Chains A and B, each alone.
Chain A
Amino acid sequence: MSATVHAGSSQIVAVEQFANASTVLGAAFAGAALNLRYIGIVASLSDVLAGLSLRAKLVAIHITGDENWALTMSERAKSKDIGASFLIGSGLVMICVWTVSTASGALVGTVLPDLERFGLGFAFTAAFIAMARGLWRGRPSILPWTVAFGLAITMVYLGLPKAYTIVASALCGLLASHLVRQIRSASQ
Chain B
Amino acid sequence: MTSSHWLIIFTLAVAALSIRVIGLFAGSKVRASKHAWVLEELPGLIVVSLIATSLSGQSAQMWMAAAVALGVAITTNHVIATMCLGVGAFGGLSLIMG
A38→B8 contact, CB < 8 A: no
Contacts of A156 in B (CB 8 A): 52-53, 56-57
Measured in the bound complex, the distance between the Cα atoms of B81 and A34 in whole Å is 31
Classify the secondary structure of A's interface with B. Answer: helix
Closest to B30 in A: A43
A44→B27 contact, CB < 8 A: yes
B12→A32 contact, CB < 8 A: yes
B15→A44 contact, CB < 8 A: no
A119→B23 contact, CB < 8 A: no
Closest to A121 in B: B54
Interface residue range, chain B: 35 or more
Q: Which A residues are closer than 8 A to B by beta carbons?
A: 1, 4-7, 10-11, 14, 18, 22, 24-25, 27-29, 31-32, 35-47, 49-50, 57-58, 61-62, 64, 66, 69-71, 73-74, 78, 117-120, 122-137, 141, 144-145, 148-150, 152-154, 156-157, 162, 165-166, 169-170, 173-174, 177, 181
Q: Which B residues are closer than 8 A to A by beta carbons?
A: 4, 7-13, 15-24, 26-28, 30-31, 37-57, 62, 65-66, 69-70, 72-74, 77-79, 81-83, 85-88, 90-91, 94
Measured in the bound complex, the distance between the Cα atoms of B22 and A37 in whole Å is 11
A144→B41 contact, CB < 8 A: yes
B24→A157 contact, CB < 8 A: no
